[in-house]
A and B are shown apart, each in its own frame.
Chain A
Amino acid sequence: MEIEEIDPVTGRKTTGHEWNGIKELDTPVPRGVLMFLVATHLFALLWWILLPTWPLGSTYTKGLLDIDQRKTVEEKMVAATAARSDWMTAIETKSFDEISADEQLMKTVRETGHQLFGDNCAACHGSDGKGRSNYPDLTDQDWLWGGGPEKIAETLTVGINSRHSESRIAQMPSFGRDEMLDRTQVRQVATYVHSLTNPETSTPDNVELVKAGQEVFLTTCAACHGEDAKGNQEVGAPNLTDNYWVYGGDLQTIIASIHGGRQGHMPTWDERLSKADIKILALYVDSLGRENP
C-alpha cells in the first residue's frame, strides 16, 4: 500500500509508507545541515593535520605543530617554577627573622600559605586553623611543642608519633587501663586537674579528694606535666592550668584521658611538601595566632 500523498501543511510528498498512522515526508536534507556537516568535518581535518591524532601501528601521526601534552606540561612546570624563583629562593635561603621583617615576602607567605594550609592542614585543623575536638587549635598561642616558626617547622617536618625517623614522640600512658592507677586514684587526680582550671569546683566537700589527687599528681604526672602542672614543651606535655584543651576539659573527658591515655598523631610532611612550602606554612601558622590573639 505504497500510496504517495501530499501533506497539506508543508506541501511535501510522503514516502508512501504508514506505520500505525505514522507517515514520513520525503523532504530532502536541508542545505544548512549539509553545510554544517562539511564545516565540522573540515574542522576535524584541520585538527588532524595540525595535532597528533591517528594511530599508525606502533606510532601515530605527530601533526604539523609538533604539540604533545606531556611536553606542554613539562614546559609549563618549568615556566611556573621560573616565575616563582625570585621569592622562592628568598624564602629558601633567608632565615625566619629575615623573612618576617620583609613586608613584601610576608604578603606572599600569607597568600600562598592560605592555599597550602587549606589543601594540607584544614582537614584536621579547620580552614581557620581553630581546630576541633581532638585536633589542636593553632590560633590560641598555646603550643604543645613550642611556638614560633622554627618549632612549628620542625613539627611539620618530623610530625608527632609519625613514621619519620626523628618523629616527636608524645605518649600519655593509659594509667587506668594499664592499672598504674586504681579507679579511686584516677578519680582523685582527675578532680585535682579539673580544679586547676575550675577553682570553684574545689569546695570544702571535696577538699579531701582534691588533696589526694594532688599527691597522685606529684608522684605520677609531674614528671611530664611539671609540679606546677604547666606542662613541658620538650616532651609535648600540655599545660593543664590554662583553659586550652585538645580533647576537652570537662571532668568526664579528663577521666577518659587519664584512664585510656592519648596518642595524638600529626603526620610528617617531609616527603610531601618542599622545604620552602614547610617554611611558608610555619610562618603562616605562626601568623594565625598573632592575628587572632
Chain B
Amino acid sequence: MVKQLTSGERQFAAVILVVLAVLGIAMAAAGRADPLGVHGLIVLLYSGALLYVVLSSFYEREPDLSLRTRYYDDPIKVGIALTMAWAVFGMFIGVWVAAQLAWPNLAFDAAWSSFGRLRPAHTTGVIFGFGGNALIATSFHVVQRTSRARLAGQISPWFVLFGFNLFCILAVTGYFMGLTQSKEYAEPEWYADLWLVVVWVVYFILYIRTLARRREPHIYVANWYYLAFILVVAMLHIVNNIAVPVSLGHAKSYTVWAGVQDAMVQWWYGHNAVAFFLTAGFLAMLYYYLPIRAGRPIFSYRLSILSFWGITFFYMWAGSHHLHYTALPHWVQNLGMTFSIMLLVPSWASAGNALLTLNGAWHKVRDDATLRFIMVAVIFYGLSTFEGSFMAIRPVNSLSHYTDWTVGHVHAGALGWVAMITFGSLYTLVPTLWKRERMYSAMLVEVHFWLALAGTLIYVFAMWNSGIIQGLMWRTYTQEDTLAYSFLDSLVAMYPYYIARAFGGLLFLLGAIVASYNIWMTVRYSPEALTDRAPAGPDQGPLPENVTAPAE
C-alpha cells in the first residue's frame, strides 16, 4: 500500500490523516457526552490507525515510477477484503434481526440490540458496506481495464475507499447508540452525511479524470452505469439529507423538509437509491464481468443504449409509488405508478440483453458456478423488476403495501440480484487480480452457489406467503362489515414464515462465509507453484501501447 507511494505522496497522505484526526478531536471536544463525542473518538482512532500504517513505511525505499504505467490494483484488493467483511457482518445482523421477529427475546433486553437499532445496522451493513465496497472496488477495476488507463490518482482511490468505510462505521455505530434521522436508508446524522459528500465528490472527480485518460475511442457501457451511479447518488444524498443540526456539539439534526414533502423527498431518494445504487452500479458489474466470464460479445449495443436511457429517465419519476394511498395527492401517485409501468421495458431489455449474451455459452453456465451466479442474478433482476412494476400498480399496492411482500420483493432484488451478481463478479475478479489461474476451490464456489440460491428461494417464498396472508387478513371483513382479524391475529399467522425467513437468511450467510474463506485461500495459497509465473496476459502487464486517441 504505502510502498507504492512516493515520499511526497506519503507526506500528503499523512497530512490528510492528521487533519482528520484533528477533526476527530474537535468532534470529541464539542460533543463530550453526546454520541457526537463518541464518534469523534472513533474518527480519531480510525485516522490514527491509518496514520500508523503510513508512518510505519514512511521511510521505505521509493517505488519504481516506471511501474506506474501499470494498472493500480492495490485499492481494489483492499476493497474486496472490505466487501467480504461487511457482507459477513451485515448478513449476520440480518439473520439476527430476522430471528428477533420470531423470538423477540433475542434482543436480550439491551437498547443497542433492539430491533429498531439492529435493523438499520443490517440494511446499512449490506447495502452500503457490502454493496458500496463492491461497487467501489469493481468500478476501479472496470474503469481501468475498459479505458486502458491507470486510475487518475495515487491517494484519491485510498481516500475514497477508506473515507467511505469511515462513513459506514459512523453510520452503524451511531445506530447502536440510538442515532438516526428516521429516514430509511438515509439514517446517518448530519456530520456523517457531510463527510460522505466530500468522499463522493473525490470519487466522482477520480472517475471522470480516469475516463478522460482513456486510450479507447469509446466509453464502454459499464462506465455509463458506474458514472450514473456516482452522479445520481451524490444528488440524492445531498437533497434528502439537508438538515439543521441542533448545535455543532450535538449529533441530532432536523430535516428541512416537512410533512408530505418530506415523505416525497425521502421516497424520491429511497427509490432512486434502489435505482442508481442497487441497480445501475450492479448493471455496470454485469456488463463487464458477464461478457468476460462467458467469453461472448454483448448481444446488442442498441439494446444497451435503450435500456440505459430508459432506466435513468423513468426511475426518477417512480418514487411516489412508495406512498400510494397516503396523504400524498392522488395525481402524484398516478404519475409515479405510470412511470413505474413504463420502466419495466428498459429493465427487461437489460435482463434480456444479458441472457441473450449467453447464447453460445450455455454449456459454460452448466459447468461454471461463477457464470451461473451471474445468470441467476440476471433472472432475479428480471423477476424483481417485474414484481416492482406490478406492485407499483395502485390496486395491487393496496394489498401489498406495509406487508412482508415488500420485504420479499426487496430481498429477491438484494439477495438474488445484487449479492449474486457481486459474488459472480468477485469470483471472476479475484483470480485475475491476484494472478491465480482460478479460485482456490471450484467446489466451494459450487457449494456457495447452492447455499445462496436455496437461501434466497426460501426467504422469498416465505415472505411472499406471509405478505399475501397479512394483506388478505387485514382486508377481510365479517358479514357485519367489521374487520375479521386483529393485527395480532396476523402476527400469529406470520410466525412460521418468520422462522423460515431466518433459516433462508442463515443459508445465505453461510454462503458468504464460504466465499470469504475461498477468497482468502485463493489470495494466500495457490495450487500451483507460483515461482515462475510471470504476470503475463493483457490484463496484468504494462498498459498496451498501440494506442488509439479518444474519439470524443
Contacts and interface: CB of A to CB of B under 8 A. Distances in A.
B216 A48 contact: no
Given A9-B359, A33-B306, A111-B480, A28 B217 contact: no
A127 interface: yes
Interface string B270-304: 00000000000000000010011000111111111
B216 A19 contact: yes
B292 A60 contact: no
A21 B292 contact: yes
B345 A43 contact: no
* Contact count band on B: 35 or more
Nearest to B489: A118
Nearest to B289: A22
Nearest to A38: B345
B531 interface: no
A52 B334 contact: yes
Interface residues of A, number: 55
Interface centre among B344, B482, B486 (most CB of A within 10 A): B482
Interface in A94-123: 108, 111-112, 114-119, 122
A22 B291 contact: yes
B391 to A, nearest CB: 16
Contacts of A10: 299, 359-360
Contact of A20 (B296, B359, B539): B539
A55 B538 contact: no
Contacts of B333: 69
A118 B486 contact: yes
B220 A22 contact: yes
A223 to B, nearest CB: 39
Given A33-B349, A37-B345, A118-B486, A19 B338 contact: no
A87 B480 CA distance: 8
B304 A51 contact: no
B220 A19 contact: yes
B481 A108 contact: no
B330 A52 contact: yes
Contacts of B339: 44
A15 B301 contact: yes
Interface string A231-262: 00000000000000000000000000000000
Contacts of B337: 47
B501 to A, nearest CB: 22
Interface in B328-366: 329-331, 333-335, 337-339, 341-342, 344-345, 348-349, 352, 359-360
Interface string A22-50: 11111111100100110011011001100
Contacts of A69: 325, 330, 333
B478 interface: yes
Given A22-B291, A118-B485, 13 more contacts: A10-B299, A21-B292, A24-B301, A27-B302, A29-B303, A37-B342, A47-B334, A47-B338, A52-B330, A87-B480, A114-B486, A115-B486, A127-B489
Interface string A4-26: 00010110001101011111111
B371 to A, nearest CB: 15
B398 to A, nearest CB: 11
B331 A40 contact: no
Contacts of B329: 52, 60
A54 B334 CA distance: 9
Contacts of B483: 115
A2 B334 CA distance: 47
Contact of B548 (A1, A47, A55, A127): A1
Contacts of A17: 216-218
Nearest to A56: B331
B68 to A, nearest CB: 19
A19 B297 CA distance: 11
B488 interface: yes
A61 to B, nearest CB: 7
A9 B358 CA distance: 11
B145 interface: yes
B149 to A, nearest CB: 11
Contacts of A27: 299-303
12 contacts: A20-B539, A22-B297, A22-B298, A26-B302, A33-B348, A33-B349, A44-B341, A60-B331, A67-B330, A115-B482, A118-B486, A119-B488
Nearest to B145: A20
A190 to B, nearest CB: 29
B33 to A, nearest CB: 32
Interface string A119-162: 10010000100000000000000000000000000000000000
Nearest to B305: A29
Given A20-B145, A108-B480, A48 B338 contact: yes
Nearest to A62: B331
B548 A122 contact: no
A36 B382 CA distance: 15
A41 B486 contact: no
B114 interface: no
B372 interface: no
A111 B481 CA distance: 11
Contacts of B292: 20-22
B484 interface: yes
Contacts of A60: 329, 331
A127 B146 contact: no
A272 interface: no
